[in-house]
């Protein structure tokens, strides 16, 4: 107090972001205003180091910090807002004119063409990452080409996929001719809309600095024309035309068919490739001329530059495989792929242990191995893996049903393993998990559909690794007892992403046990569990983590098609419960009025009611929001919704 003998101290906690530490604590004399205690230049310097979420958290502390935070938004170099989908009004409030803006990342699912003026306003922009652009038309490409000439990286997903919006060839041309410094371009949508007689030629005008190119889907006719031009410009006789993609190193494509001709054209036309990611999804069984054979695999890595390769045959439309590739093709490929660091093969049903072993023994630098639908892969693949120099860190063996506990035991000799995906390997049981307990770097373990029991979770609980992601979806032998067994040791206390879906014997008792652990889980999936009901929702809503608010840590909760969920559970999704919730999966037909009311009351929660999978899954947790669980309130949502009503009284500052 001003006239007392002892000064009253209050502590303002500014959640850290960016390259600052975890938190900055400022002890302030309550008799002085913050602007009297600290110079504005000092406050500005501190705020300039914070990310968007932390700026909003600081602004919720008092009126002065709010004013400083708004000012900081006008010169922050990065504006990243992916955990919510802002409206145009909110975007206009937050995305202020800023000559220093370099990086913009947004979820655009609630934006349309009226927001393009904000998105393409900063001429200083170098990185643009826009997700869910279904309500934006190709005019966005035009404005980017005209107003953002310094762009280095562009990522656009689902552009113009709603309401029959169009993207035109001429709009793509504006982007390519206007942004002559592009280094990375990802167009994750159907680029068939760009079909035009000069589609291939326009890429000759693209930035010669382009090193990474990704298409969501490109028809074979357009891809063929593009690669023909790339091959032609590499011919010695073509001295007057600059080469197409002279420095392209990374190419990711989704096509109709992966063929021998495609592999040959890529090898000739793009000799600098270090990353090649190809996926096809045939709608009919391929004939030999439109399929990949042993001959096509010989064209891979003829220049010795490839470090990462992925060849996947998707089962999206038809159960089909690379039936014309056998061990001989893989053996021939492995001879030229000794420098590979990661390899992903999906749908090679005729390749046996002989072919897969050739890869393991030939690629001494291999760190990531992914094989899916390996119907002839057995334990023999890893028989003498301990005799190799391999230091695998990521292994995925999905739908490899001949693999048993013995194979996993041998695989575990790679003590550097950090990610293991064994989903749908139905012959794996408790002994497989017991063999993994000595791995001290393992952070992601996916066991969907395996034959493990509660005993396996007791093994897992005794492990010493920093497990952060665990998926047990569809492990039908598990019961409520698996939860206390898992969390009996220390390994379970780091779990942030947890999937317990489709376990028929899992009941509310298991979720009550989970809530009692007070583990700060960020994503919890318990969908399609017939014995899960309202009690589970109440327990999670009432769960407190390290003195935080109720249900404070959950970012995603999926309770879709849990038979015992009733409309009563919806009351627990109102504030102040689940303050950080961004994704909620429910059964939409349960009570449509209550679902609609929830959407209105929690506008920043994505409520999915049709059974769609939520979030980004276990293979992509890069949003970086998992380090904010200690905050008691969701200051970001508070700042956006309440505006000037954010508290500015000393009594509201954390004491």
Percent of the chain with pLDDT over 90: 65
Which has the minimum average pLDDT: 316-320, 617-621, 635-639? 617-621
Judge whether 456 and 429 are in contact, CB under 8 Å: yes
The confidence score (pLDDT) of residue 344 equals 97
Residue 270: band (very low, low, confident or very high) from pLDDT cuts 50, 70, 90: very high
- Name the phi and psi angles at 397, rounded to 5: -130, 60
| 490 pLDDT more than 50 | yes
Average pLDDT over residues 159-181: 92
249-268 confidence digits (pLDDT tens): 999 999 999 999 999 999 99
User: Exposed (0-12), middle (13-18) or buried (19+): which is 389, by Cβ within 10 Å?
Assistant: exposed
Q: Give the Cα separation of 210 and 500 in Å (integer).
A: 43
Which range scores top for mean pLDDT: 153-167, 209-223, 600-614? Answer: 209-223
* 129: nearest Cα among 82, 176, 75, 181: 82
Which has the minimum average pLDDT: 113-117, 339-343, 433-437, 615-619? 615-619
Q: DSSP per residue over 340-399, as a string?
A: -SEEEEE--TT--HHHHHHHHHH-TT--EEEEES-TT--GGGGTTGGGS-----EEE-TT
The confidence score (pLDDT) of residue 463 equals 87
Region of 553 on the Ramachandran plot (φ > 0 left; ψ -120 to 50 alpha; else beta): alpha
pTM of the model: 0.86
Q: Give the Cα separation of 555 and 636 in Å (integer).
A: 13
Q: DSSP per residue over 517-546, as a string?
A: HT---SEEE-TT-TB-BHHHHHHHHH--ST
Q: Give the Cα separation of 482 and 520 in Å (integer).
A: 18
Which of 191-220 are b and which e, b meaning 16 or more Cβ less than 10 Å from the residue's Cβ? bebbeeeebbebbbebbbebbbbbbbbbee
| 647 pLDDT more than 50 | no
CA distances to 219, 317, 355 from 286, rounded to whole Å, are 15, 13, 23
| 234 pLDDT more than 60 | yes
Q: Give the Cα separation of 251 and 276 in Å (integer).
A: 5
Q: Which residue has the tokens 């379970």?
A: 492
CA distances to 413, 417, 460 from 392, rounded to whole Å, are 10, 6, 21
Tokens of 104: 């913009």
Percent of the chain with pLDDT over 70: 86
Average pLDDT over residues 261-278: 95
Q: DSSP per residue over 153-215, as a string?
A: EEEEESTT-STT----HHHHHHHHHH-TT--EEEEEEEGGGG--TTHHHHGGGS-TT--EEEE
The confidence score (pLDDT) of residue 620 equals 41
Question: Measured in whole angstroms, how far is the alpha carbon of residue 140 from the centre of its chain?
Answer: 24
The confidence score (pLDDT) of residue 524 equals 97
The confidence score (pLDDT) of residue 31 equals 36
| 448 pLDDT more than 80 | yes
Average pLDDT over residues 635-643: 53
The confidence score (pLDDT) of residue 645 equals 43
Sequence-ordered list of residues with C-beta below 8 angstroms from that of 145, at least 6 positions apart, any chain: 174, 175, 176, 177, 178, 179
Judge whether 475 and 499 are in contact, CB under 8 Å: no
Give 549 or 36, the one with higher predicted confidence: 549
Residue 640: band (very low, low, confident or very high) from pLDDT cuts 50, 70, 90: low
Judge whether 603 and 19 are in contact, CB under 8 Å: no
Q: Give the Cα separation of 599 and 517 in Å (integer).
A: 30
Residue 549: band (very low, low, confident or very high) from pLDDT cuts 50, 70, 90: low
Q: Give the Cα separation of 193 and 566 in Å (integer).
A: 45
In the chain, the largest separation of any two C-alpha atoms, in whole Å, equals 91
| 559 pLDDT more than 90 | yes
Q: Give the Cα separation of 246 and 204 in Å (integer).
A: 10
Helix (H, G, I), strand (E, B) or coil at 432: helix
506-522 confidence digits (pLDDT tens): 999 999 999 999 899 99
Average pLDDT over residues 620-628: 31
The confidence score (pLDDT) of residue 321 equals 95
CA distances to 68, 96, 141, 181, 192 from 118, rounded to whole Å, are 22, 9, 13, 21, 27
The confidence score (pLDDT) of residue 99 equals 92
Average pLDDT over residues 161-172: 89
Give 8 or 101, the one with higher predicted confidence: 101
The confidence score (pLDDT) of residue 499 equals 97
DSSP class of residue 49? T
Q: Which residue has the tokens 């390769």?
A: 309
523-542 confidence digits (pLDDT tens): 999 999 999 999 999 999 98
583-595 confidence digits (pLDDT tens): 999 997 777 888 8
* 419: nearest Cα among 371, 467, 373, 375: 467
* 528: nearest Cα among 485, 558, 489: 558
Q: Give the Cα separation of 609 and 289 in Å (integer).
A: 44
Tokens of 625: 């929001």
Residue 220: band (very low, low, confident or very high) from pLDDT cuts 50, 70, 90: very high
Q: Which residue has the tokens 């298991």?
A: 510
43-85 confidence digits (pLDDT tens): 777 877 777 777 777 776 777 777 787 778 888 899 998 888 9
| 167 pLDDT more than 50 | yes
The confidence score (pLDDT) of residue 648 equals 37
Terminal-to-terminal C-alpha distance of the chain: 15
Helix (H, G, I), strand (E, B) or coil at 451: coil
Tokens of 456: 């396996």
The confidence score (pLDDT) of residue 203 equals 95
Q: Give the Cα separation of 417 and 466 in Å (integer).
A: 12
CB atoms within 10 A of CB 68: 22
Q: Which residue has the tokens 């490409």?
A: 141
Residue 631: band (very low, low, confident or very high) from pLDDT cuts 50, 70, 90: very low
The confidence score (pLDDT) of residue 633 equals 40
| 172 pLDDT more than 60 | yes
Residue 239: band (very low, low, confident or very high) from pLDDT cuts 50, 70, 90: low
Which range scores top for mean pLDDT: 22-31, 397-406, 552-561? Answer: 397-406
CB atoms within 10 A of CB 393: 16
Residue 9: band (very low, low, confident or very high) from pLDDT cuts 50, 70, 90: very low
Which has the minimum average pLDDT: 262-266, 359-363, 641-645? 641-645
371-404 confidence digits (pLDDT tens): 999 999 999 999 999 888 889 999 999 999 999 9
Mean pLDDT computed over every residue of the chain: 86
The confidence score (pLDDT) of residue 259 equals 97
Residue 36: band (very low, low, confident or very high) from pLDDT cuts 50, 70, 90: low
């Amino acid at each position: 107090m001003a006239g007392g003998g002892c000064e009253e101290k209050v502590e303002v906690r500014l959640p850290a972001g960016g390259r600052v530490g975890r938190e900055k604590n400022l002890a302030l004399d309550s008799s002085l205003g913050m602007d009297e205690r600290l110079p504005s230049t000092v406050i500005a310097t501190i705020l300039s180091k914070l990310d968007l979420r932390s700026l909003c958290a600081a602004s919720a502390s008092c009126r002065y910090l709010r004013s400083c935070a708004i000012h900081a938004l006008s010169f922050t170099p990065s504006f990243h807002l992916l955990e919510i989908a802002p409206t145009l009004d909110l975007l206009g409030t937050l995305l202020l004119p800023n000559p220093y803006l370099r990086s913009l990342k947004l979820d655009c699912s609630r934006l349309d063409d009226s927001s393009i003026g904000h998105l393409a306003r900063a001429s200083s922009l170098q990185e643009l990452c826009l997700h869910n652009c279904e309500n934006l038309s190709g005019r966005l490409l035009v404005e980017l080409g005209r107003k953002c000439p310094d762009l280095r990286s562009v990522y656009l997903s689902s552009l113009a996929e709603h309401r029959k919006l169009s993207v035109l060839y001429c709009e793509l041309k504006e982007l390519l001719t206007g942004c002559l410094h592009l280094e990375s371009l990802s167009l994750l949508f159907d680029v068939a809309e760009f079909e035009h007689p000069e589609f291939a030629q326009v890429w000759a005008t693209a930035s010669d600095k382009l090193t990474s190119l990704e298409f969501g889907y490109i028809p074979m006719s357009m891809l063929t024309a593009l690669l023909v031009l790339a091959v032609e410009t590499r011919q010695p006789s073509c001295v007057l035309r600059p080469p197409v993609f002279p420095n392209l190193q990374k190419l990711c494509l989704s096509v109709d068919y992966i063929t021998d001709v495609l592999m040959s054209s890529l090898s000739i036309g793009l000799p600098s490739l270090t990353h090649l990611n190809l996926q096809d999804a045939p709608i009919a069984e391929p004939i030999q001329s439109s399929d990949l054979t042993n001959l096509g695999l010989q064209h891979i890595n003829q220049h010795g530059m490839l470090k990462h390769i992925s060849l996947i045959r998707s089962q999206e439309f038809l159960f089909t495989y690379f039936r014309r590739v056998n061990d001989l093709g893989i053996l021939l490929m492995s001879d030229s792929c000794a420098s590979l660091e990661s390899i992903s093969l999906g749908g090679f049903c005729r390749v046996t242990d002989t072919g897969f072993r050739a890869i393991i023994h030939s690629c001494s630098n291999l760190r990531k191995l992914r094989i899916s639908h390996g119907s002839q892969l057995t334990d023999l693949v890893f028989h003498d893996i301990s005799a190799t120099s391999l230091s695998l860190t990521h292994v995925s063996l999905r739908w490899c049903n001949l693999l048993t506990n013995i194979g996993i035991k041998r695989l575990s000799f790679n003590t550097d393993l950090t990610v293991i995906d064994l989903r749908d390997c139905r012959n794996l049981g408790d002994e497989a998990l017991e063999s993994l307990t000595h791995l001290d770097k393992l952070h992601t373990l996916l066991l969907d559909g395996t034959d493990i029991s509660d005993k396996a979770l007791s093994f897992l609980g005794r492990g010493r690794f920093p497990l952060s992601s665990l998926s047990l979806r569809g492990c039908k032998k598990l019961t409520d007892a698996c939860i206390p067994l898992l969390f009996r040791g220390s390994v379970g206390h780091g779990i942030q992403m947890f999937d317990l879906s489709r376990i028929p014997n899992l009941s509310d008792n298991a979720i009550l046990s989970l809530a009692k652990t007070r583990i700060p889980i960020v994503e919890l999936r318990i969908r399609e569990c017939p014995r899960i009901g309202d009690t589970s929702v109440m327990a999670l809503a009432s769960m407190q983590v390290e003195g935080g608010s109720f249900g404070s840590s959950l970012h995603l909760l999926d309770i879709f098609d849990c038979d015992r969920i009733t409309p009563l559970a919806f009351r627990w999704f109102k504030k102040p419960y689940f303050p950080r919730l961004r994704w909620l999966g429910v059964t939409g037909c349960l009570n449509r009025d209550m679902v609609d009311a929830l959407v209105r009351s929690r506008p920043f929660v994505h409520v999915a009611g049709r059974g769609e999978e939520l979030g980004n899954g276990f293979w992509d947790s890069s949003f970086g929001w998992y380090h904010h669980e200690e905050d008691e309130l969701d200051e970001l949502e508070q700042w956006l919704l309440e505006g000037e009503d954010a508290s500015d009284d000393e009594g509201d500052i954390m004491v």
